[in-house]
């Protein structure tokens, strides 16, 4: 049994409350880790001498802000091999341009891309991530990112994505990028039986994730839902309402909008979360709230690809659970969780049409909503919101009995100067920052700003060589 004491924490944000805020916040606090679990936390005045003496390792956090590790609920790791491509085209053109390149990837490339994506996530404060790998070309399997996550020490929800409806069947992807539905379901069952762990503090769980309405059939959606619900805790994930072209496709192909289509496939419920959900109308937001269906807000990708602005404020107020996601590294083009928190807050303050106010001269001026989303609400989405989407109550907060996943950012740095009044909000509004410490499952994966389980120079060299090989 190992114990670690983080003492004299300058600002400790626990996110232990029931509402969309940071919960208990403490100046001069402490957290005690025993193996992979938080056993105690609170003001330093309540940390007994015996506790301090008993800890095998003691870290002085007097210059640090400490908070729970963040939860990334939507990503495509492999896409960091196709960054800064197709910079100015609409989503469907973007996809059709990149599909043939992704079809050339192999399992070695997937390992390299996964390692780089995880490194970026960890350094930006993420301790748990989902990844939606929906293309399985050549010898690729989902086993590889699972193996890499274990090497890196990242808590991982591996989403077995899939595309089965190619161009010849009325779908968007080329036939060379799709799989047979029987093979998809068989592999999903194999992955669940081999890796899905429903114990507390589990490091690996499996998600079933057919890609989108325009790349899989209604039959696969229904079969995936049935398969997931035949196993404890296997959740469902997909894209929805990402672009208006998707709504047009659903209306033309299925005779209904994307949310109604999802409902027809048994894809609304508390075990389902969707990425994007930008173009939901009022009735569809109510359907999400009433069914317990969740959503991932990916603000950087929404801006980068010119998609639109998710109605996150209204969805939160309606009772929809929202988490944050960096989305793929080809549609973002980074994997930085602090960036997503910052843009999540700021983008909700930009004035889409529904927020513009009437003026004597007609619609004009900024007309925005300055308090649309607070820094703490954005951080709540990145912690508690993400944990709930993944079906977990053991992560996303600092409290006794919870998983020992936490991050620390040093306050005495250039970008934090002048933030003494609210150092927690500064992590959102003044960043993005790299973490100085990251503990995942009780293990230090970043110490003093350096990876403990990764040779970064070697990983970067391998990534560059993989790029040369794939593009040769």
pLDDT digits (tens, 9 = 90+) for 92-148: 777 778 878 888 899 999 999 999 999 999 999 999 999 999 899 899 999 999 999
**What pLDDT shows up at residue 91?**
67
Chain-centre distance for alpha carbon 268: 20
Name the more confident of 259 and 99. Answer: 259
Q: Which domains does the chain have, with CATH numbers?
A: 3-69+397-451 (2.30.40.10), 70-389 (3.20.20.140)
In this predicted model, what pLDDT tens digit does every residue of 403-446 receive, in sequence order?
A: 999 999 999 999 999 999 999 999 999 989 999 999 999 999 99
**What pLDDT shows up at residue 361?**
36
pLDDT band at 171 (very low <50, low <70, confident <90, very high): confident
Mean pLDDT of the chain, nearest integer? 92
**What pLDDT shows up at residue 337?**
97
Round to whole Å and give the CA distance between 204 and 195. Answer: 6
Residue whose C-alpha is closest to residue 395's, from 438, 335, 440:
440
Chain-centre distance for alpha carbon 200: 20
**What pLDDT shows up at residue 120?**
97
Average pLDDT over residues 442-463: 97
Residue whose C-alpha is closest to residue 23's, from 396, 456, 325:
396
**What pLDDT shows up at residue 370?**
64
**Percentage of the chain with pLDDT > 90?**
77
Round to whole Å and give the CA distance between 140 and 98. Answer: 17
Round to whole Å and give the CA distance between 98 and 139. Answer: 19
Residue with tokens 């996110």: 15
Q: 454 vs 119, 124, 348, 406, 440, CA distance in Å?
A: 8, 15, 36, 19, 14
Name the more confident of 92 and 41. Answer: 41
**What pLDDT shows up at residue 270?**
98
pLDDT at 19 over 70: yes
Tell me the two tokens of residue 266: 């048994």
pLDDT at 399 over 80: yes
In this predicted model, what pLDDT tens digit does every residue of 293-330 receive, in sequence order?
A: 999 999 998 888 888 899 999 999 999 999 999 998 77
**What pLDDT shows up at residue 243?**
87
**Percentage of the chain with pLDDT > 70?**
94
pLDDT band at 159 (very low <50, low <70, confident <90, very high): very high
Tell me the two tokens of residue 326: 């960096």
Contact call for residues 66 and 6 (beta carbons, < 8 A): yes
């Amino acid at each position: 049994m190992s114990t670690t004491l983080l003492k004299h924490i300058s600002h400790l944000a626990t996110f232990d409350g029931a509402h969309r805020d940071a919960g208990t916040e403490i100046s001069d606090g402490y957290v005690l880790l025993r193996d992979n679990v938080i056993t105690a936390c609170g003001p330093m005045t309540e940390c007994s001498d015996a506790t301090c003496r008993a800890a095998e390792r003691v870290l002085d956090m007097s210059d640090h802000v400490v908070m729970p590790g963040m939860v990334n609920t939507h990503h495509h790791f492999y896409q960091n091999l196709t960054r800064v491509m197709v910079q100015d085209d609409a989503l469907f053109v973007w996809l059709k341009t990149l599909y043939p390149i992704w079809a050339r990837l192999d399992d070695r490339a997937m390992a390299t891309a996964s390692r780089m994506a995880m490194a970026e996530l960890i350094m930006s404060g993420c301790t748990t991530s989902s990844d939606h790998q929906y293309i399985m070309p050549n010898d690729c399997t989902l086993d590889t990112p699972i193996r890499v996550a274990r090497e890196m020490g990242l808590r991982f929800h591996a989403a077995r994505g899939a595309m089965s409806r190619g161009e010849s069947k009325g779908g968007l992807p080329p036939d060379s990028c799709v799989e047979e539905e029987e093979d998809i379901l068989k592999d999903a069952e194999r992955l669940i039986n081999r890796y899905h762990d429903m114990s507390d503090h589990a490091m690996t769980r499996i998600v079933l994730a057919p890609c989108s309405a325009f790349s899989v059939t209604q039959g696969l959606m229904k079969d995936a839902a049935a398969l997931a619900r035949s196993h404890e805790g296997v959740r469902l994930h997909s894209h929805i309402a990402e672009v208006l072209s998707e709504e047009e496709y659903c209306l033309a192909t299925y005779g209904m909008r994307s949310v109604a289509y999802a409902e027809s496939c048994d894809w609304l419920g508390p075990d389902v979360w969707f990425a994007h959900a930008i173009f939901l109308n009022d009735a569809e937001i109510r359907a999400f709230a009433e069914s317990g269906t969740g959503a991932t807000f990916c603000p950087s990708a929404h801006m980068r690809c010119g998609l639109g602005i998710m109605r996150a404020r209204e969805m939160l107020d309606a009772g929809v659970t929202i988490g944050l996601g960096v989305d793929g590294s080809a549609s973002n083009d980074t994997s930085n969780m602090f960036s997503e928190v910052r843009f999540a807050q700021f983008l909700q303050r930009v004035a889409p049409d529904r927020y513009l106010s009437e003026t004597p001269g007609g619609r004009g001026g900024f007309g925005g909503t300055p308090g649309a989303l607070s820094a703490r609400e954005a951080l709540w989405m990145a912690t508690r919101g993400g944990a709930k989407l993944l079906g977990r109550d053991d992560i996303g907060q600092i409290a006794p009995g919870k998983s020992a996943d936490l991050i620390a950012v040093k306050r005495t740095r250039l970008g934090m100067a002048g933030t003494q009044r609210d150092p927690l909000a500064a992590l959102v509004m003044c960043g993005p920052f790299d973490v100085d410490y990251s503990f995942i499952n009780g293990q230090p994966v970043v110490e003093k700003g350096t990876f403990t389980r990764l040779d970064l120079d070697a990983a970067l060299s391998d990534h560059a060589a993989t790029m040369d090989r794939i593009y040769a």
